[in-house]
Structure formats: C-alpha cells, structure tokens
Structure 1
C-alpha cells in the first residue's frame, strides 16, 4: 500500500481542505463525510475519519471519530500511519479534558509523548534529482532549495515513496535527466516537518530528512513519470504556496 495523491478518497479530502481554506465548513464537512462513506479500505477510512472528526460540534462526537481513526491506524500498523499517532493521541487527550475525564486525558497525553519520534521505516529510500551521480557518492546538506532558492537547506531530504522521489526529480533545478537514486541514511533521520501533519495525518508520503550524508547505493527507473502538463501544475501550485520552509 502506498500513498497516492490521485486516489479518489484522497482527492475528496483535498477538495474538503480547499473548502476549509475558503471558509466553507459545511461544504468541507460534506466532502469528508462523502469520503468516509465511499472509502473501501482501512487507510482510506482512516484519512476520512480524521477529517470528519474536526468538523464535529461536540467533544464527545469529535472523540468518537478520533478514536475511530486511531483504531483504523492501529489495525493498519505500518509506516503509512505511524507518524499520525502523536497528534491523534494528543487530540484525543484534549477531548477527554473537555469531557472532564483527567485520567484518560493523562493516559492519552503520555501515549502522545511516547509515540513521538519513533521511526520504524526501513525503506528502501529514494532521492530524486537531476544530478548525474554514481554509486558510493554522498549527498550532503547545504544546497539551495528547489522550491525557495534563496534558502540554503540544513538537511538532505529523502522518501520511501519512489513516485515521490520522481516528483522531486521532475521539479529539481537544471536540465539534466530526471533520476531517482536508492539511498541509505548514514545517521539519524526524522519525519519531514514540512509535510508531517500539514495536509494529511502523520507522514503518509514517508518523507524524511537528515543532517547526515545520504549514500547512493543504486538507481531505479521503477517510478511513474509525470507529464509536462502535470509538472507545470505542480510548479504553479508551489509558486502559489506562501508557507515558509521549516529548515
């Protein structure tokens, strides 16, 4: 199972988020409920339940949907959902606080703390670029951002999603061939805070960053290339993104 931005349920949730940004909560809530009703597997239901939860009017109803999302995430129990646990437990804790249940609030708050920073992803990992590199080469931080070139990046970024690396390659600066390298982190790494819990719960794109070098161990061609039209759409979307990079 891999996160796919073209998935029907993901698309419905993205439409719902657009309605939220336009301050149209009723339309957003309707789209999230539609996503829940049309979801066909646990991962789709997990995403939909997470968004349905935040449109509930009472703490008890919000808690019901958050616990539904949590149970689905626990059933999935893989790297697609593991990054969502800290925020899920924290929001559940806040609901219990509103419901004057300090014991359950404390228990879930402690679960939020204990689940934070626990990365179990074993890869394989990928890095997308237009640079012509060789097996054994090291990728290091200190390059300019592909998205905001005035920023010198303090980390090097990678993902366990080959198509995500392919997108990064397509958007990379330069005229070279789009390449997706198989890489190994040489030190500790963390969830990419620029995507984790920003749009979708947790880190479903399995995107990470490190200050240690990444070692190139191979190259893959097994990823879906975007059309020129799709690349242009992504460039326009990034150009309109006013958010600051967490560096």
Structure 2
C-alpha cells in the first residue's frame, strides 16, 4: 500500500510504531539501495554511472531525483528475500529485516540512495542518511531527534537517557492516545531500538549517556540542502556548515 511507504505525516493520524527491530540498519540499507538502483537503472552504482542510474529511473517513473523513492522500493523486496541479499540466517528474520529496511529507504530520494550506495560516501555519512531515513519514515523518531536530541546538543545539555524519552512520549500522548495503548513490552522495544539506532549512527554514547555532535561531509551537506529540514534531525549547528 502506498500509505505504508514514504515519509510520515501525522496530521490527524496515528504514529507509525513498528521500529522494534534492527537498529539503524545501515549496511542493510546500503545493500538494498544498490540493488534498487541497479534494478531501476539497469547499471551499477560506480561513480561514472550514478548519473545514468538516476536518469534511467527518471525516464521510467517520471520522478525527479530529489523526490522520495516511495512505494517503488517495494519492487525489490521479493528478490531480496529470495536471494537472501542481506545474508540473514532464518527466513522469518530475513523477511522482517528486508521489509523494515525497504520501508525506511522509501523515505529517501533517488539522489540520496545513489550517494548511500555509491563509492564516495563515508561510513559516517551513510549512517547519517539511514538515521534521516528512520526520522522521515517514523515521524515520532524525527520529532524526538529534533525536539530532544538536537535540543540537548544546542543547549549544551549533552546528557540523554531513557527518562528524557519517557517524558517525550508522555507529552506526545496528549495528542496521540495510541501511545498509551502500546503494550509495556512493545514500548520498551521501541525505546531500546531508537537508542540503539542513535548509538549505531554515532550520535549517542551509551557508556556516558551523552549526545555526540555530528558534522556532515561537504558532499552530504550539498545533498541534504535540497531538503534542509533533514539537518534538524542531527545534533549539529547549521551555522557550522
């Protein structure tokens, strides 16, 4: 369904609350991004062919490279599962991780996917893109990133822990009663997986419960400027760009 892909808007709707597994899924995101670009563009993600890939995707789908991939990412799901592209041991886990990763990738643009899968992106930039994908796909994660994670960085209050998250959720429940109907077990999984993703994106240090500042490379900065709200998900000062 188209509604299950792309960035989430929550006007009058319930939050998506299915980020219970996988953490950041950065290596998985890169592998499936490359698979998607190859399938849609008929080429590799080598530097010389990245532009051709985007052009062919545009020809086939009439999408601009700056638009979200959306539900077209679903085209690779079955093949990724059958070929076990992510090398996951059990079929059920493979299906879950492929489904979760493709959903998050659906919130990125063709240009962002090309950079994610390409040879010029650093590990740090790829992790940041997968964090941004998670923030776009799950509005509640994006709101936590901008209203708590980034705010802590900007105010110099670098300590961040589960209590901060719990207060954030309690506040959001005023407008989103579905948060109060989540089971205790699921609520803990959501919280744990969000912190795991922040840790894997190197935006948070678990040992000291500390927010870590992030500075994107010039290449990633140029890509994100096309959707400048993305900087709001990262513990950084835009004035430093």
TM-score, L = length of structure 1 = 0.26
TM-score, L = length of structure 2 = 0.27
Name the structure with the higher strand share. 1
Greater Cα radius of gyration, structure 1 or 2: 1
- Higher RCO (C-alpha under 8 Å, 6+ residues apart): 2
Name the structure with the higher helix share. 2
